[in-house]
Structure 1
């Protein structure tokens, strides 16, 4: 295979400061940042790097196999050369990666179209190849003299998330292969695989291989277009008839359940036709407990008497169910668990939580917090942070003597608490 040396280094111009909440926008950029944050040992340095990257302190980034380099300005405007090393894949690993790619026609087609399908990560991992960095995989070198990650190298790592937004092939270049080399290898191996003779086996099923059938699809009649999504869910038939219902049957409740089923079917069809579901709809309904499903149903704005039945059936009462519905709208099952469960944070999870709280604010701005289980209450204020089992922070505030959810989750406890305080200020206004 021809090696394109000019393909083995790319330089990206410095990016302007990042605006808005999301630092990376695409799946690949977000996957990189998730891997970075989940494997970081020092949340304080990570936070410092995020601030520098957001402020536009990272200069032009050079990407080569096994190394990324940039000049990063610290908070005092001193510039340092920062390098981050990532181990290249071995020749044997690249062979396995290419074999895996060629076995999946969808990957070949996407790569040759210069697209990086997200499932490439999972399929590569199944063959023992990790594309995204794991614990300790990112080795820092910085001119500031730090022996481990510092704010400058952390900022460079964050900037890579934005580079992956521009071109996810950057990840494969860091792992050792430039885009042209990779595509040449995929094309050559795919062609060799297609030309290789194969002997039919008695155990092989009769018929035509799916990839072969797809490749010759242009000789077949065209498939009908996908159905258009109805503007609204279907309306169930009315159960208000002259025949009295059987004992214990509530027609209004049945009509509500039918309407919610139609709405759920409409949502699932919309997801299938147009993309991903909303965050609060990610929970699989089939896995909900009866109590959780009652809250989901109550979130569908039932008639008053149906809501009363749901409130009585869950044992929450009217106000408690209203709070649970608010949590559901903010985050589905995860938010509901944070509302209902108080648990003891132990060992490593507690150390990470304390480190996150210590680094979230400057010392003079840090609020006084009183801890109980997975809940940290601001002393002298109606605000509270709750730690979910997934490591995210959920904001709460006290209303009429009851703690209620005040916003969605955040990785940064300071951001979560700020949303709780903002919600309280809006209520007062």
Structure 2
């Protein structure tokens, strides 16, 4: 499957198909895919009608690359907004960062093409190529990842940002509800249909911040006083724990008050050992760090290593550091297929040696570790030990590229 590792959603794959159908040279598309996997695409600017980024060549040269896509006309937007406002399911899907096929089909029936087709992705690159080059192809592959995460990116390229769209949809929903109420007031008691309220539930502006959310920069409480502390009571450690509890409570409360919090899964409770690493990652005084190491069974060097892992991905990264496990036969087959696919178009695919859930790159001090959640974590050998070296990625080639580009 073309674009494997860059597009998991059907609309992301449709974006890459438009690139492949538009580009005259398929080898440039493959080269762009390799560039993107190697981390060659810099920070992207997405705005109506255009996406832009600096893309690095293997020789280190950087080129400004743009891909131009036609914006929808004012009449197109009116038809599209009316269509979405009339169907509660369309609004709900977009707010859940989904783009169901029937939304695109309904838009096409109304004469509005949301997804690009042949010739819709026009390249402009400082390398002066007249067709899609490796730089614009790399940019398109990276955009496919953005589209997977948020289909509002496509709507922004077509001319309207998320906030503007939600404001316009809210206005239409309120107007329709008011018109229906006026029209039906002679037959039924005044009110708004439950279906309309449900459709507009996420379009209502968020409530203001609750006054009980204290300033995050406020000083933590001071527990010292004229009365001496009891035997064995470390006042400094207690103050640190109080400040940490206050910060966590503030974070949990802010998440609870945020729109859509009911769709956020509750995280599993941390074990005492995991919580010791989390606390050490907050940077307490040295004596508190030493006490955390002693109470959790870590040596000082082991705790520092665990803190580095925590910084790359919290409890999931810590589990990958400390747990070695063997994937079952079916999962192992899927993992090997993903590894093969990650470098299917690359002549320089690394030679990997597998040990349970760890794949070591032969001849280098680098390693990939496979987590139980299907993500890949990069490791580097330092001083005879494997050290966590970066955040995870669903694409093993992208995870490994973090290490290889630094060498």
TM-score of the pair, normalised by structure 2: 0.54
- The CA deviation string for residues 244-293 of structure 1, in whole angstroms up to 9 with x for no partner, is 414x43323212211222343555677789999xxxxx997772222211
Q: Does 1:360 align with 2:340?
A: no
Residue number in structure 2 paired with 1:89: none
Q: Does 1:98 align with 2:81?
A: no
Partner of residue 119 from structure 1, selected from 95, 98, 101: 95
Partners of 1:342 and 1:373 within 8 A in 2: yes
Residue number in structure 2 paired with 1:232: 217
Taking a change above 3 Å as real, the CA distance of residues 210 and 166 of structure 1, as seen in their structure-2 partners, is closer
* Greater relative CO, 1 or 2 (CA 8 Å, sep 6+): 2
Partners of 1:392 and 1:409 within 8 A in 2: yes
SS at match of 2:87: helix
Taking a change above 3 Å as real, the CA distance of residues 317 and 193 of structure 1, as seen in their structure-2 partners, is farther
Q: Does 1:372 align with 2:346?
A: no
Q: Give the alignment of 1:287-298 within 5 angstroms.
A: 287-298=269-280
Partners of 2:213 and 2:250 within 8 A in 1: no
Q: CA RMSD in A?
A: 5.7
Q: Does 1:194 align with 2:178?
A: no
Take 2:404 and 2:140, find their aligned partners in 1: how far apart are those partners? 32
Partners of 1:233 and 1:263 within 8 A in 2: no
Aligned residues: 305
SS at match of 1:386: strand
Take 1:349 and 1:130, find their aligned partners in 2: how far apart are those partners? 37
- The CA deviation string for residues 355-385 of structure 1, in whole angstroms up to 9 with x for no partner, is 3345337554222211112211122322111
Residue number in structure 1 paired with 2:395: 412
Take 2:290 and 2:305, find their aligned partners in 1: how far apart are those partners? 14
State the shift of 1:59 in Å: 7.3
State the shift of 1:314 in Å: 2.1
SS at match of 1:287: coil
Take 1:360 and 1:245, find their aligned partners in 2: how far apart are those partners? 63
Partners of 1:394 and 1:409 within 8 A in 2: yes
Tell me, which stretches of 5 or more residues in structure 2 are unaligned? Answer: 1-5, 15-25, 42-54, 56-63, 73-82, 106-116, 120-133, 160-165, 191-196
Take 1:391 and 1:47, find their aligned partners in 2: how far apart are those partners? 25
Partners of 2:326 and 2:356 within 8 A in 1: yes
- The CA deviation string for residues 75-115 of structure 1, in whole angstroms up to 9 with x for no partner, is xxxxxxxxxxxxxxxxxxx89972457xxxxx6xxxxxxxx
Residue number in structure 2 paired with 1:256: 240
Q: Does 1:351 align with 2:334?
A: yes
TM-score of the pair, normalised by structure 1: 0.52
Take 2:273 and 2:94, find their aligned partners in 1: how far apart are those partners? 35
SS at match of 1:403: strand
Partners of 1:361 and 1:414 within 8 A in 2: no
Take 1:333 and 1:283, find their aligned partners in 2: how far apart are those partners? 15
Take 2:229 and 2:66, find their aligned partners in 1: how far apart are those partners? 73
State the shift of 1:36 in Å: 5.1
Taking a change above 3 Å as real, the CA distance of residues 283 and 301 of structure 1, as seen in their structure-2 partners, is farther
Take 1:52 and 1:419, find their aligned partners in 2: how far apart are those partners? 13
Residue number in structure 1 paired with 2:111: none
Take 1:58 and 1:224, find their aligned partners in 2: how far apart are those partners? 39
Is 233-242 or 47-56 further displaced after alignment? Answer: 47-56
State the shift of 1:421 in Å: 4.3
Take 2:198 and 2:368, find their aligned partners in 1: how far apart are those partners? 52
Q: Does 1:167 align with 2:155?
A: yes
Q: Give the alignment of 1:268-283 within 5 angstroms.
A: none
Which stretches of structure 1, 4 residues or more, deviate above 6 A after TM superposition?
37-40, 45-49, 52-60, 94-97, 128-132, 151-158, 182-185, 209-212, 223-229, 269-276, 282-286
State the shift of 1:230 in Å: 3.3
Partners of 1:407 and 1:419 within 8 A in 2: yes
Partners of 1:239 and 1:255 within 8 A in 2: no
Residue number in structure 2 paired with 1:302: 284
Taking a change above 3 Å as real, the CA distance of residues 129 and 293 of structure 1, as seen in their structure-2 partners, is farther
Residue number in structure 1 paired with 2:320: 338
Take 1:235 and 1:95, find their aligned partners in 2: how far apart are those partners? 48
Q: Does 1:402 align with 2:389?
A: no
